Each structure stands twice: as structure tokens, then as C-alpha cells.
Amino acid sequence: AVVSTQSGHYGREETEVLKAQISSLESQITAEEEKSKELEHKSKMFSYGHYEGDGQEKMLELLNEKVEEVYRSCIGDNEANISTLQMLTNIENRLEELFEHIEMMPQEKVELAEKAKEKERRLKLREEKREQQRLHQEERVRKALERAKADPKVQTGKRLVFRSKPPEVQKKKTDVVDKKNEEDEELAYYFS
């Protein structure tokens, strides 16, 4: 009888452990199902109208060209033909090195260099603005010359004019009749 109670005790503990494992597995399953639903929703959002394959490919190509341009100006030619992401990483590392180098330089020298760069930037902007004004003025002159060279528009026939309203016909006869009716009404009111 002692053995049967011990085996019953172990059986209960084992079933409790198994029940705990089942409940934890069920909670994991519900969590995974929620993740699955969320990912499914995100994939639908991606596939419904938000994804434009050709437009994205063109945008990626454009971004790649810009990154290559910056890479060439900062580091040099892309001889190893590395990916865009690797180029960005190299550019970032180069910037870190340059910032560290700037921090080690004397502050006065850095300020003078910043002022010189700012002055250079303003001069460049001013030149670009002058160039745009020059192009705009050339365009205006070209259009004026085209108008001057064009044959003048000859108007044929009379010019269209808004027609005035015809004068209103005054109704004198009806006014006389109205006055007579009013007088008759007044007489009938006072003398009846």
C-alpha cells in the first residue's frame, strides 16, 4: 500500500508538471499566432499599393549613384566595387576620423577654417544666384525677340462689344389706371 501512494503522489506531480508545460506551450502558441498575424498585416500593407517595383528600383539606383559620388569625393574611386552599404560605412568611418582629427587641432585654426569655408559657400551661392538671374534675363529677352519677330495679329471685322440693355418702356397708361383705382377705393371707403 505504501508503494501505491508514492506512485500516486509521483503521478500527480508529473501530471501537474505536464499541465504547466501544456499551459506554457499554449501561451507560446498564442504569442506566435499574434506575431504571425502582425507579419501578415505588414506584408499586406507592403503589397497593397505601397510597393512600386520600378519606382523603388530607380530610387535605389539614384541613391547608389549619389553614394558613389560622395564616396569618390571623400575616399577615392570604388576600385573594389563594394556595395552601397559598405560605401556608407566607409564614409561614416572616415567622418569619425576627421572629427577626431578636428578635435585635436587648435580651436583658433578650426574657427578660421570654418569662417573661410562659410565665406566660400556664400560666394558660391551668390554666383549661382547671379547665374540664375542671367539665365532668367536671357529667357525674357529671347521671348521678347520672338514676340517682336512674330507677325502682328491682324483683326478682321468689328471688335466685339458688350451689347447695352435696351431702354425700358415706361408704363404711363397703367399708372393712370392705377391712380384712378386708388381714388375709387378711397372714395368708397370714406363715403360708404
How many angstroms separate the CA atoms of 91 and 183, rounded?
105
From first to last of its 192 residues, the chain has per-residue pLDDT tens of 444 455 566 667 888 888 888 888 888 888 888 888 888 877 776 666 555 567 778 888 888 888 888 888 888 887 777 888 888 898 899 889 888 888 888 889 888 989 999 999 999 999 999 999 999 999 999 999 998 888 887 777 777 787 888 888 776 666 667 788 888 888 888 886
The pLDDT, as a whole number, for residue 16 is: 83
Q: DSSP string spanning 19-65? A: HHHHHHHHHHHHHHHHHHHHHHHHHHHHHTTS--HHHHHHHHHHHHH
The pLDDT, as a whole number, for residue 127 is: 96
Query: What's the full length of the chain, in residues?
Result: 192
Among the listed residues 93, 100, 104, 97, the one whose alpha carbon sits nearest the alpha carbon of residue 71: 93
125-180 residue pLDDT tens? 999 999 999 999 999 999 999 988 888 877 777 777 878 888 887 766 666 677 88
Among the listed residues 87, 90, 117, 83, the one whose alpha carbon sits nearest the alpha carbon of residue 102: 117
Identity of residue 73: S
pTM: 0.39
